[in-house]
Chain A
Amino acid sequence: MGANASQLEKEIGSDQFPANEHYFGLVNFGNTCYINSVLQALYFCKPFREKILEYKAKNKRNKETLLACLADLFYNIATQKKKVGTIAPKKFIARFRKENVKFDNYMQHDAHEFFVQLIDSINECILEKQQAGRNRQQQPQIIPTNQEDISSETLTPDQQNILNDVSLNGSNTAPGSPHGQQQQQGTDRQQENTWVHEIFQAIVTRELRCLNCESVRSTDEVLNNLSVEVHQNTSITHCLRCYFTTETISAENKVHCDNCASLQEHQKRTRLKKLPSILVLHLKRFQFLGQFNRPLKLSHRVVFPLELRVFDTSDDAVNPDRLYDLAAIVVHCGTGINRGHYFSIVKSHRFWLLFDDDLVDKIDPSYIEDFYGLTSEIQKSSETGYILFYQARDPT
């Protein structure tokens, strides 16, 4: 690893090496590449790293939470004397395993599942801290929630079902919940926005438009990432366009419109209402198919550009043309969800780097093509983009 590290430094060149930047591999503690790959991707999502380091600066002495462990790890990397090297994320992994029984073993896990769990846990830590602070200072900072066009209370159960049916990635919103996941978690402190929300939160709105009177009802779902279906020989743009659907509900499926006071044809649309600063796209490459009782990997070739915009934004979306740059890719290698290997490719300043546990390599961006997937339908091992991190170009 020493040789690898110095080689990287040589390859970049001391005069070219970005100031205050550190490229450190992470030691694998037995199938922890699913953790390492996501941590590296997050480390190179600038707004996220800045917030974590800011947290570290503000909370010198802190009880050991997952957030504190992550902050220590990022701080440790960011303050290394050397520019390249290896770090063992021992404390973080131990803490994560302790808090999450499911991950408390030496098995390979789903990097996406880890990402979701990590973001939720961090958010939870921040909220707890805010709560504690508020109890001391008595200064509530409640940020108003988004206004709905029509509150969901006015909907009939049928309409609720229609709206909820539009669920995109299996995480159904609870009936009667206009705030989706937020409400599921149940406490009113969930209504507050944390910086985690500011960075990752996407709001997906499902509209039900009466084709007779044009009135619109909508429900929102708050997501930290979008899980898109993959199709052979398509682009991530197309996957997103499939995610955001428009369909007409007619004939026997007509829905009651309160405004018209009768059954009417409706148009059902799913649109992106809030565009996050970091748009995390999860390619649903692991799917249960028919006779197999374990998820199979879809190695379909899905191309993803270095820049991205979202086509299907809602009419009331703020900054609907937000331009994103690809910041990091978590790549899955192998045939199944519980086997194989993960590594990540990140962009740092002008360079593209490949972080494979303790190994770090500078790569040519054209190498990314190798991780689009396979055009052959034959099931075989592949190295494919699995989680894409797109970062908004506008200043945050």
Chain B
Amino acid sequence: MAYAYLFKYIIIGDTGVGKSCLLLQFTDKRFQPVHDLTIGVEFGARMITIDGKQIKLQIWDTAGQESFRSITRSYYRGAAGALLVYDITRRDTFNHLTTWLEDARQHSNSNMVIMLIGNKSDLESRREVKKEEGEAFAREHGLIFMETSAKTASNVEEAFINTAKEIYEKIQEGVFDINNEANGIKIGPQHPTTNSTLPSSQGGQHAGGGCC
């Protein structure tokens, strides 16, 4: 499918907070309660629409364990967006956010959009981290914030899409250098220059960007 832009995302955060489930919910619209531990990094992709434009999201789901940290670092620089996830039922995962954030800020390009996600909002009775705390952390560090549930799919779409919106706005503002692919942004094969409102499916077949 032809796209106007391609954004690269990474998903980071402690192990077990639901990163893989969030990705699966977003790409496949399903929840898998018993999930394999992610070894290294796994890839997923989906198309979304923002402002009438097709945007392809390529997402790398990373392993949260300490032993994979150094591998994860290789992905920061080339990503336009990062979902930093903690588990609202486990305070330790919230406490580790600072470390994650430092790591991300140190190795990423300065424009990377970071979305803070408090996952497992369906487990209200076991909540250990208040929503206000998440909000405060996000405000303090200049992040966007949402609470999600990979189980009920609540806010999952929004989390990925709002991140993309933020990146998109930054592009419009000219903050991102879209010609440098190292920033995790790519312009589509036949980027519509002015008449961007035309449905992009028309040009799709000719451009050789056929099917999937």
Q: Do A and B belong to a common assembly?
A: no
- Which residues in B have some Cβ–Cβ distance to A below 8 Å? none
